[in-house]
Amino acid sequence: MAEDNSYESMLCVKPEVHVYRIPPRASNRGYRAADWKLDEPAWSGRLKITAKGKMAFIKLEDKNTGELFAQAPVDQYPGSAVEAVTDSSRYFVIRIEDGNGRHAFIGLGFADRGDSFDFNVALQDHFKWVKQEGELAKMEASQSTEPKLDLSFKEGQTIKISIGNIKKKDASSAKPRQAAGGLLPPPPAVKAGGVIPPPGSQQHTATPAQTNTAPLLDFGSPSSETPPNSDLWGDFTSAGSSSSTDAVKSGWVQFS
């Protein structure tokens, strides 16, 4: 990922901080704010923390004019550019630079503990982001060097797909088909000696006594109004059944 080194962002602003002259470090145990003249700060003004790329900058400015008093570039935190004292959470030792390769150590103090907390968190958050960006860049670089998996088919390559066995339907469950031409099968045969009565006529059950003496049907005597060759059963026609098919519909510091 390309870095935009021309853009400078603001991380933290504190309206009042104090700067102290500090004695040389007495031992490797760290700096102590109690060794400073805390009631006589050498300078007081405003603090800003800015970021440009991976670098952070602690800037000490005049409250009224905004003139730069000193600046401390920070390339990592915690580190040698910013160091907390051993006896207080409101004081730090920072390394300032004059831009010509010379540097000096000064004491920095906040009147309010909340301001010192914000100062600490602003630096921590910035370098946490720098670390995450570095890890992401390494991951992207490693992925770009790995060979890509080619899943395309080569010339002449084939693939087989197994669908499984499809069971045939039981022949016994098949429905009977209609007769050819869509006609219904003929009705069952009538028993010998029986006669199908015409529609609408009442069916009489003959008693045993009447079986031998009366005829099966009494048509009566022909009437004069009935033509000689007329059919007493009337005209009956049978309609053929037709099958139909239903339709289907993601200056002051001594620099060294």
- Chain segment 180-198, per-residue pLDDT in tens: 555 656 656 555 555 555 5
Tokens 């026609």 correspond to: 237
Tokens 């395309």 correspond to: 152
Q: How sure is the predictor about 77, in pLDDT bands with cuts at 50, 70 and 90?
A: very high
Give, in order, the Cα–Cα distances in Å from 55 to each of 3, 9, 52, 70.
Answer: 11, 11, 5, 16
| pLDDT number for residue 211 | 46
Walk me through the domains of the chain, giving residue ranges and CATH numbers: 9-145 (2.30.29.30)
Bigger pLDDT: 43 vs 182:
43
Asked if residues 53 and 4 have their Cβ atoms less than 8 Å apart, the reply is: yes
Asked if residues 48 and 10 have their Cβ atoms less than 8 Å apart, the reply is: yes
Q: What is the pLDDT of residues 150-180, one digit of tens each?
A: 667 677 777 777 776 656 555 455 555 555 5
Q: How sure is the predictor about 247, in pLDDT bands with cuts at 50, 70 and 90?
A: very low
| pLDDT number for residue 216 | 47
